[in-house]
Amino acid sequence: MKNLAKFLLFVLLVSAGISLLYDYRLKHGGLKLPSTRTPEKYTLASGPSVDSKQVASLEALNRERRSLVSSVLPSVVAVKTSKKIGIRREYGLDPFEFFFGNRQRRFRSPRDEALVQSSLGSGVIVTNEGHIITNNHVVAQVDEIEVQLSDGQTKKARLVGADEQVDLAVLKIDNPSVKPLKLADSDTVQPGDFVLAIGNPFGFEETVTDGIISSKGRPNRSDFFGDLLQTNAAINPGNSGGPLINLRGEVIGINTAIASTTGGSQGVGFAIPSNTVRNALESLLKQGRIIRGYLGIQTRALQPGEDGADTEGVTVAEVMAGSPAAQAGVQPGDVVRKFDGHEVKNFSALRTLVAQTQLNKQVELEIVRDGKPLKVKAQIKEQPIDHDTARAVPRQNEPQPQTPRQPSDEEAASSPLAAIHVEELTPEMARQLDLPSNVQGVLVTGVDPDSGVAELQKGDVIEEINQQPVTSVSDYNKIAAALEPSQPQVLSVCRHRARSFLVLRPR
């Protein structure tokens, strides 16, 4: 107790000294205002620098944009979540704990407490009954969900259903006066279309940013981002789950991710197309889960110079054992041209067509085998839970794959990612970091200073490098060793419950 009293006296003396020094500087230092003032003469500009008639079209555009924004804002909500995390807190008599919150100390009187972790996101009302669409990563594994309406009201929200794979969730509030927005036909969206992104970035409710559709889909991508709409409208943390709006005030997408070297907006944002949202919404409301059709093939895009590469389609790389495709006689090497009468332009198109097909429906596949057209029929089944780990039908006379050589420490050190230190992601660590249950990758444990990759943080999970899945430290080292140091590298990163791209450029 004597030491504590001495410390408190010391702090009081230091505070008094600082106060006296500050008062002295105010009285004797810096610029001084005159003791008597003569009013300054001033003349403000009396008119605008541009005649409104000269910018009549811009004035009209301004009015129309105001009208568009005011009509959709009442339908956009801020989503606020909280989760209780059990922690072990202990209290001692270290005086530094009182002033500075130092946790590295010796303890007395241990006891258990619960820390409340809060998070912010966005959502949009889409039904007259008060159903709200948001991202799954906004509301996953939380204890309480509230939404704040545009008029300031806060309502408790009920989680109706969610899906990790498509990253969408449906909430419900009880409010008879809600104004829903219509889900547009995202198939009609084209690059160059004007859009608005509305949401709750960094907790700033009703933030509106504008831009265009930068790109629509990526036919050569087989990951989550291949199906998304890309926009240059500024999207930041907290925008997740908010709507992407077209000129008619309709929802064409749900903002879900960004590609960034800083963690903030750099004009490369992504939204889930509204047609995907509509299918997910109806499935979650009717069945409580998303029902997906399943064909049972793994595909790849046709390569230049490959047989049939001058036309659209996808090549079957693997056929899953016992799948509808296997029962229909589909073989590796077949080129799928049409699915149930619909042209197959790329892998994303085929995946969407299959997923949206009614269960048990018999569909016709038009394929090319050894340069000859062929038609087969397959009965679409529900996608099994373990479809990602299903075994492929073994090919005849297929050589056994050789075990790849692991890179040496010297080879890994030459990689541009050598400055990033990673370790295996364990289930226990994933729970501690509050990560989605489907995260696979390596855990970032540190980044070398002055390495140029400071945008990565301890606790981030690297899931992909240049679209190559990373499931272990061995994968990470092998991919890192094969990278070209002079080329930018694109990492798919999960931070807490949000996914984004980070672009690492050579220094």
What local confidence, expressed as pLDDT, does residue 12 receive?
78
Q: Using CA atoms in the order 272, 274, 279, 283, what is the torsion angle rounded to 10 degrees?
A: 70
Enumerate the β-bridge partners of residue 76.
Answer: 124
In CATH, what number does 409-504 get?
2.30.42.10
Q: 95 and 7 in contact (C-beta within 8 Å)?
A: yes
User: Which long-range contacts does 284-288 make (Cβ < 8 Å, 24+ apart)?
Assistant: 284/160, 284/161, 284/162, 284/163, 284/168, 284/170, 285/131, 285/160, 285/161, 285/170, 288/160, 288/161
Q: Which CATH architecture has domain 186-287?
A: Beta Barrel (2.40)
Question: Residues with catalytic annotation?
Answer: 137, 167, 240
What local confidence, expressed as pLDDT, does residue 158 receive?
94
What letter represents residue 403's amino acid? Answer: T
Tokens standing for residue 18: 């600082």
> Dmax of the chain from CA atoms?
101
Half-sphere exposure of 339 (CA within 13 A, CB side): 27
Which segments in the chain show pLDDT lower than 70? 1-4, 22, 24-34, 85-117, 219-224, 300-311, 385-416, 449-455, 467, 485-488, 503, 505-507
Q: Which residue has the tokens 């009013």?
A: 39
What local confidence, expressed as pLDDT, does residue 452 receive?
60
**Which of 157, 244, 248, 163 lies closest to 208, judged by CA?**
244
Is the dihedral angle over the CA atoms 476, 482, 485, 491 positive or is it negative? negative
Enumerate the β-bridge partners of residue 490.
Answer: 503
**Which of 181, 208, 209, 220 lies closest to 315, judged by CA?**
220
Q: Which CATH architecture has domain 74-172?
A: Beta Barrel (2.40)
Whether 186-287 and 74-172 are alike in CATH topology: the answer is yes
Half-sphere exposure of 33 (CA within 13 A, CB side): 5
Cα–chain center distance at 164:
12
Q: Is the pTM of this model over 0.85?
A: no
What local confidence, expressed as pLDDT, does residue 104 receive?
34
In Å, how far are 51, 84, 114, 163, 497 from 87, measured between CA atoms?
Answer: 64, 9, 6, 29, 20
Instruction: Reduce the DSSP state of residue 253 to 3 states and report it.
Output: strand
What local confidence, expressed as pLDDT, does residue 223 receive?
59
**Which CATH number is correct for 293-389, 2.30.42.10, 3.30.70.2340, 1.10.540.10, 1.10.260.40?**
2.30.42.10
CA distance 85 to 104: 20
Which of left, alpha, beta for 137 (phi over 0: left; psi -120 to 50: alpha)?
alpha
User: How would you class 71 by CB atoms within 10 Å of its CB: exposed for 0-12, middle for 13-18, buried for 19 or more?
Assistant: middle
- Which H helix or E strand runs over 113? strand 108-125
Q: Where are the domains of the chain?
A: 74-172, 186-287, 293-389, 409-504
What local confidence, expressed as pLDDT, does residue 266 receive?
84
What local confidence, expressed as pLDDT, does residue 388 receive?
55
CB count within 10 Å of CB 14 equals 10
